[in-house]
Chains A and B, each alone.
Chain A
C-alpha cells in the first residue's frame, strides 16, 4: 500500500493530542491566518517556531510530517518555478531569451514556497493529533449555532469523518485496480501525456463503481445501527475545555501578535543591538 500521510491520525500520548478538538480547530484557523499575514521573511520566524514546537510537543515523528509535505512537493516546485520566471522585479540576475530571473522574483517564489510548506505541515498537524471522530465532534460543536437555521450539522460532520476514513481504503483500491489492469496488459507509463491520462480512465471507472457500491453498503450498515434514531444523540467522549486548552489559546494569541508586530519592531531591535 502506498504510504499517504496527509489526513491520517498518528496515535501518541501528548499534550497536543489531549487538547480539546474544538480548540485545536480554532488554533489551526488562527495559525493559517498567521501564515497568510506574513509579508516579510522575518515574520516567518514566529510561524516556524510555533510549528516546530507543536511538532515536538505532539511527539509525531518528523519523518511523518515530512511525508505529508512530500505529497505536495510537486505543486510547491511548480508554483515556485512559475513565480521565479513571471515576477520581474528589481535587478535582473540572469536572462536567456524570454526567461528572466530577478532577485525580486526569487524572493516572491521563496516566500510562496515557504508559505505552502508551513500551511500543509501545520494543517496536517491537526489530523495527526486528532482522530477523525474528534474532528467531527469538534466541528459539530463549533457549528452548533447553525442548527437554529436548520443546517444538518451532524450529517455534515459525519460525512467528513467518513471521507477521512475511506481515503486509505480507496487508495488501496486504486492500487488493486491498477495491478489488475496491468495484468491484462494495460500500460500506465508509456506514451505521451494524453495517452497516459487516457490510460487512467479504466482505473477511474471501476473505482467509481466500487465507491458507489461501498456507499450503498455503508448506508445499509449505518441504518442497521440505528443512525438518526433520535435527535438527542449522546457522545462517548465529552468535549471539555481544561486549563491546558486556555494555555494553548493564550500561546497562539501571542503567536499571532508576534507575526503581525515583528516587522514593525525588527528595525528597532536591530538598532538596539548595533549600538
Chain B
C-alpha cells in the first residue's frame, strides 16, 4: 500500500530539570494515503509532539520521518512538507492572522506565492467545502467556536494539502461545534480523499475511523481498527483513556454475565440489547 507518512524508529527527548524525558521513544508507524487515523492518548503521552514531527516543526533526535517521500530533516523542503501537511490547532483564536475570514484564508497561499486568480479560486472552493462561503466577508471574532475551527480547516485546505492534522482541534468546543468539525473532517476524507490524522483524547470521536493508534509515554500501546483496539480492555484502562459510552455499557453488561458483543456506537448497542433473551 501507498504510505503518505512513514515514521521509522523515531525518538525525541528533552531535558526537564536534571532528568531526560522521552517524549517519543522508538516509534514506528505508517499512515496510508487517504485513510482516517485517530491518535489517542492522555496528556503527556507524546501525541502533540508527534503532530509537530509530522510537519517538520520539530525534528527527531534519532530515526527518520518521510512525508510523501520527503525526509523532514531536509531543510530546503520544509515548506513543501508544510504545504502538504496542514495543521489545525486547539485554540481557534491563536491560529488566525487576519480579521476578515477570506483574508485569513488567503494567508497560506499568499505565503506560497501562488498567482492571484488561483488564490481566489482556492479560497472560494475551501470556504464552500466547509460551508462558510456566505460568511467570507465577516470578522473572525464574531463566529462560534465550531465555525472558527471550520474556517481554520478551510485556511489549511486553501493550501491544497494531502494530509490534514487536527491537533486536539475539538478540545475547546461545545458538543455541537465538535460534531461540526468532525463532520467536516469526515467529508474531506471521503470526498476529497485527504488523509486525516485526528489527535484527540475523546474516544467517542474515534469510533468510526479506519485505524486507531493509542500512545502511552511516547510508545504505541496498541493499534488497529476501533473494534480491535477497544477489545483490549486492560491496555486501554492502563493508558488512562475512557471508553465510548456505548462500549463502556456493553463491557459492564458482559461483566455482569450477559451475552453481548463489545459495541462502539449507540445504534449497535441498541441492536445488541434487543437481541438479548
Contact A161:B98 (CB < 8 A) given known A224-B82, A224-B87, A225-B159? yes
Known contacts A161-B98, A226-B79, A234 near B116 by CB under 8 Å: yes
**Stretch among A88-96, A198-206, A213-221, A254-262 lining the B interface:** A213-221
Instruction: Determine whether B203 belongs to the interface, using a CB cutoff of 8 Å to chain A.
Output: no
Report how many residues on chain A are interfacial, defined by Cβ distance under 8 Å.
33
Known: A225-B82, A234-B114. A161 touches B55 (CB 8 A): no
Question: Which of B38-46, B88-96, B205-213, B217-225 is the contact stretch?
Answer: B88-96
With the chains together, A133 CA to B140 CA distance in Å? 13
**Of A9, A218, A235, the contact of B100 (CB 8 Å cutoff):** A9
With contacts A225-B155, A226-B83, A238-B116 known, is A233 near B98, CB below 8 A? no
A218 pairs with B113, CB closer than 8 A: no
Which residues of A sit under 8 angstroms from B99, Cβ to Cβ?
A: 9, 131-133, 161, 164-165
Q: Given contacts A11-B137, A218-B94, A224-B86, are A229 and B112 in contact (CB under 8 A)?
A: yes
Q: Contacts A223-B57, A226-B79 known; A235 to B94 CB distance under 8 Å? A: no
Residue of B nearest to A214 (CB): B94
1/0 contact string of B104-134 vs chain A (CB within 8 Å): 0011111111111001100100000000000
Which residues on A sit within 8 Å (CB–CB) of B233?
none
A221-B89, A226-B83, A230-B111 known; A162-B97 Cβ under 8 A: yes
| B50 proximity list for chain A (CB < 8 A) | none
- The listed residue (B111, B139, B141, B159) touching A233 by CB distance below 8 A is B111
With known contacts A168-B141, A236-B110, A226–B159 Cβ distance under 8 A: yes
Q: Take A133-B98, A161-B97, A225-B155 as given contacts and tell me if A217 and B91 are in contact as well, using a CB distance cutoff of 8 Å.
A: yes
A235 touches B95 (CB 8 A): no
Within 8 Å by CB of B113, from A223, A227, A234, lies A234
- When the two chains form their complex, are residues B110 and A165 in contact, meaning their CB atoms are under 8 A apart? no
Return chain B residues, CB-CB under 8 Å to A223: 57, 82
Q: B102 near A: Cβ within 8 Å?
A: yes
What residues of B have a CB within 8 angstroms of the CB of A162 in the complex?
A: 97
CB distance from A170 to the nearest CB of B (A): 10
B269 on the A face (CB < 8 A): no
Query: How many residues of B are in contact with the other chain, CB < 8 A?
Result: 42
Q: Is the CB of A169 within 8 A of B159?
A: no
Q: Which residues of B contact A235 (CB under 8 A)?
A: 106, 110, 116
The answer for the CA separation of A228 and B83 in the assembled complex, in Å, is: 12
For the complex formed, measure the closest distance between the CB of B142 and the CB atoms of chain A, giving whole angstroms. Answer: 10
| Complex contact B112–A236 (CB within 8 A) | no
Q: Which residue of A11, A220, A226, A237 is within 8 Å of B111 (Cβ)?
A: A226
Query: Known: A161-B98, A169-B93, A218-B95. Contact between A133 and B103, CB under 8 A?
Result: yes
B156 proximal to A (CB < 8 A): yes
User: Is B119 within 8 A of A236, CB to CB?
Assistant: yes
The answer to whether A236 and B83 touch across the interface, beta carbons within 8 angstroms, is: no
Known: A224-B57, A225-B156, A235-B110. A217 touches B94 (CB 8 A): yes
Is A178 interfacial (CB-CB < 8 Å)?
Answer: no
- Interface flags for A26-46 (1: CB within 8 Å of B; 0: not) read 000000000000000000000
Q: Is A232 an interface residue (CB 8 A)?
A: yes
Residues of B within 8 A of A232 (CB): 113
A214 to B98 alpha-carbon distance, docked (Å): 15
Annotate B59-92 by CB proximity to A: 1 below 8 A, 0 otherwise: 0000000000000000000010011001101010
**Residues of A contacting B103 in the complex (Cβ-Cβ under 8 angstroms):** 131, 133, 236-237
Q: Is A222 an interface residue (CB 8 A)?
A: yes
Chain B positions within 8 Å of A224 at CB level: 55, 57, 82, 86-87, 89
Contacts A11-B137, A220-B57, A224-B86 hold; do A230 and B93 have CB atoms under 8 A apart? Answer: no
Pairwise interchain contact B97-A226, C-beta atoms closer than 8 A: no
| B115: A residues at CB distance < 8 A | 234
List residues of chain B with CB within 8 A of the CB of A169.
93, 141
Assess whether B107 is in contact with A132, with CB atoms less than 8 Å apart.
no
A to B CB contacts below 8 Å, 16 in the list: A9-B100, A11-B139, A133-B98, A164-B99, A214-B91, A218-B95, A223-B57, A224-B82, A225-B107, A225-B156, A226-B79, A227-B111, A229-B79, A229-B82, A230-B112, A236-B106
- What are the nearest 3 A-B pairs in CB distance? A221-B95, A236-B106, A217-B94
Chain B residues within 8 Å of A, Cβ to Cβ: 52, 55, 57, 79, 82-83, 86-87, 89, 91, 93-100, 102-103, 106-116, 119-120, 123, 137-141, 155-156, 159
